[in-house]
Homo-oligomer: A and B are copies of this chain.
Amino acid sequence: MYIILVYDIGEKRVGKMLKLCRQYLNWIQNSVFEGEITEVKLKELISRARKFMKEEDDSLIIFKSREQKWLEKEIIGQDKNDLDTFI
């Protein structure tokens, strides 16, 4: 399955979340990731995130699409993901 993951998380926990998501998905912008992932791996990601998330403040939203081709992506302005590969 193909997912888009966006998080809004307290500053102190941003680094942890970034590191965690990078292990499973591709970073595309700010607090947004995308990628192919299995149901099992996604559950693992969520359960690892829950361990440090403060559920009363933080939020993690996942959009799931069975196939990537059903989602068309348009980028206006900087494609930050291009830069990412050079950093």
Contact = CB atoms under 8 A, between A and B. Distances in A.
Interface of A: 4, 6, 8, 28-32, 46, 49-50, 53-66, 70-80
B61 A28 contact: yes
B59 A78 contact: yes
How many copies the complex holds: the figure is: 2
A53 B76 CA distance: 9
Given A8-B29, A29-B6, A30-B6, A59 B80 contact: yes
A75 B63 contact: no
Contacts of A66: 70
Nearest to A57: B78
A73 B64 CA distance: 6
A60 B4 CA distance: 15
A59 B79 contact: yes
